[in-house]
Amino acid sequence: MIQSLGERNKVDRLAAFFEAYPLQVRVSTEQHENWPATSALHLLPGDKGEVESVVLSVRGRVAEPRALMTAEVCFGGAGNPLLNTLPDSLAVPICDARPALRDTVRAFLAEAEAARCGHRHALDRLGEVIALMALRAAIEGGAARPCLLAGLAHPQLAPVLVAIHEAPAHHWSIEEMAQIAGMSRSRFMAVFPEVVGTTPMAYLTRWRLQLGQRELRKGGAKVKMVARRSGFASAEAFSRAYTKEYGRAPAEDARG
């Protein structure tokens, strides 16, 4: 699990979130009345009528009458920890500094105007890319308060968080995390809570529980199996931590 400096600079800070909590965008929800969208994506015009910014309303499908196009966004469920660290509204300007976003928005609008075969599916996929780019901008911007977003923006802590997200069942130690961060143990233990807002082990436990809860709610998995996959030493340890975190036993969230 130990990474070189070059490897740490190439980590994907969003991949694990999208794997656990799939990002989906729907431009038209006529055929998806029960689709659990929790957010909205708006393309807002400037004075000349062209798209000037992308606005992601993270909490709630907030109406935006000025929008040239609006899509509904689902972050894979309210349990997605990334949601709690994002601002209520995230605005990203369309500018030359973001050519990929600008070109994707243009392709999105062209697809909507042409209305060729399969255009609704194309719009949904392009919408997902636009939402992804808005999230990238949020990570690049960081956060003023201690939270996950600040950790993902931190050059030394981001590789640690990514490693935890991608391998929750690994037998993590503080020493190994500190080595990934390129810090001494004492420095790592001081910096992590200052930036993320909790201790490394507390964060690891919470992530394991979040993944376990999601798997239980999907149905078909036994508590013992979920505990092992989530990185707990036993079903009993998982149940104790789960009950402490959520106020109920894991069996109450299990389906099937």
pLDDT tens digits, one per residue of 130-146: 999 999 998 988 887 89
Q: What is the pLDDT of residues 145-182, one digit of tens each?
A: 899 999 999 999 999 999 999 999 999 999 999 999 99
Q: What's the pLDDT at 36?
A: 75
Instruction: Say how far apart CA 139 and CA 32 lie, in whole Å.
Output: 30
* Mean pLDDT taken over the chain: 89
Average pLDDT over residues 28-43: 74
Residue the block writes with tokens 């930036």: 195
Helix 200-218 / helix 223-230 crossing angle, nearest 10 deg:
140
Confidence band (pLDDT; 50, 70, 90) for 30? low
Q: What's the pLDDT at 208?
A: 96
Instruction: Say how far apart CA 180 and CA 154 lie, in whole Å.
Output: 13
Q: Which CATH number applies to 150-252? A: 1.10.10.60
Instruction: Say how far apart CA 182 and CA 164 lie, in whole Å.
Output: 16
Confidence band (pLDDT; 50, 70, 90) for 219? confident
* Domain map (residue ranges) of the chain: 16-141, 150-252
Give the CA count within 13 Å in the CB-facing half-sphere of 59.
9
Asked if residue 32 has pLDDT above 80, the reply is no
* 143, two tokens: 């956060």
What phi-psi label fits residue 115: left (phi over 0), alpha (psi between -120 and 50 degrees) or beta? Answer: left
Average pLDDT over residues 35-42: 84
Q: What's the pLDDT at 7?
A: 47
pTM: 0.86
Average pLDDT over residues 43-52: 88
Confidence band (pLDDT; 50, 70, 90) for 3? very low
